[in-house]
Structure 1
Amino acid sequence: MKLAKSVSSAFLLLLCTHAYGATRKQPEIRLNQSPSMRYEIIATVEGAPGAFERIEGHIDYKVVNGSCVPLTPISGATVEPQTQLPVVFERAGENTFKGEIYVDRIQDQDYFGIGVCHWSVVGASADFHHGKVNFSPAIYHDDIIGQRSVVRYFSERSYERASRSRIDIGSPSKSDFTDAGRVFSITLKSMEKPR
Structure 2
Amino acid sequence: MRRSLLPCAVLLLLTACHSETAMNQEIATAEQDVEQGGRGLAKLNPAPRQAYEFVLKIDDAPGPFTVVNGTAQYDVVNEQECGRIVQATGRAGRITSQEPVELKKISDTEYQGTVYLDRMLDEDYYDRGVCQWKFSGAGATLKATGAEGETRFVSFIDADRFVKGERETQHYADLGYPRDEMDNYADYGKDAPEGFKPELRDALFSVTLTGKEARS
What TM-score, normalized to structure 2? 0.74
SS for the counterpart of 1:136 is strand
| Cα distance in 2 between the residues matched to 1:80 and 1:54 | 30
Spell out, residue by residue over 1:116-169, the C-alpha distance to the aligned partner (whole angstroms, 9 max, x if none): 111012222111112511111111111122221100000011115456321111
What is the deviation of 1:45? 0.5
**Alignment-derived partner of residue 133 in structure 1:** 151
**Alignment-derived partner of residue 150 in structure 1:** 168
> Which stretches in structure 2 are left out of the alignment for 5+ residues?
1-23, 31-39
Spell out, residue by residue over 1:58-90, the C-alpha distance to the aligned partner (whole angstroms, 9 max, x if none): 222110112122421131122121112111111
CA contact (8 A) 2:151 2:178 kept: no
- Across the two proteins, how many residue pairs are aligned to each other? 174
**AA paired with 2:68?**
I
CA contact (8 A) 2:143 2:178 kept: no
Is 1:186 matched up with 2:207?
yes
**AA paired with 1:51?**
P
Q: CA 1:81–1:107 in 2, change beyond 3 Å: closer, same or farther?
A: same
> Which stretches in structure 1 are left out of the alignment for 5+ residues?
1-21
Is 1:172 matched up with 2:191?
yes
2:95 corresponds, among 68, 78, 81, to 81
| Cα distance in 2 between the residues matched to 1:23 and 1:172 | 44
CA contact (8 A) 2:58 2:109 kept: yes
**Alignment-derived partner of residue 130 in structure 2:** 116
2:85 corresponds, among 65, 71, 90, to 71
What is the deviation of 1:112? 1.8
| Cα distance in 1 between the residues matched to 2:89 and 2:82 | 17
| Cα distance in 1 between the residues matched to 2:178 and 2:99 | 30
Q: Percent identical across equivalent pairs? A: 26
CA contact (8 A) 1:128 1:136 kept: yes
CA contact (8 A) 2:102 2:114 kept: yes
| Cα distance in 1 between the residues matched to 2:94 and 2:208 | 30
Query: Normalized per residue, which structure has more helix?
Result: 2
Q: How does 1:27-46 map to 2 (within 5 A)?
A: 28-46=41-59
CA contact (8 A) 2:153 2:189 kept: yes
**AA paired with 1:50?**
G
Higher relative contact order (CA 8 A, sep 6+): 1
SS for the counterpart of 2:177 is helix
What is the deviation of 1:28? 2.3
CA contact (8 A) 2:82 2:130 kept: yes
Is 1:98 matched up with 2:98?
no
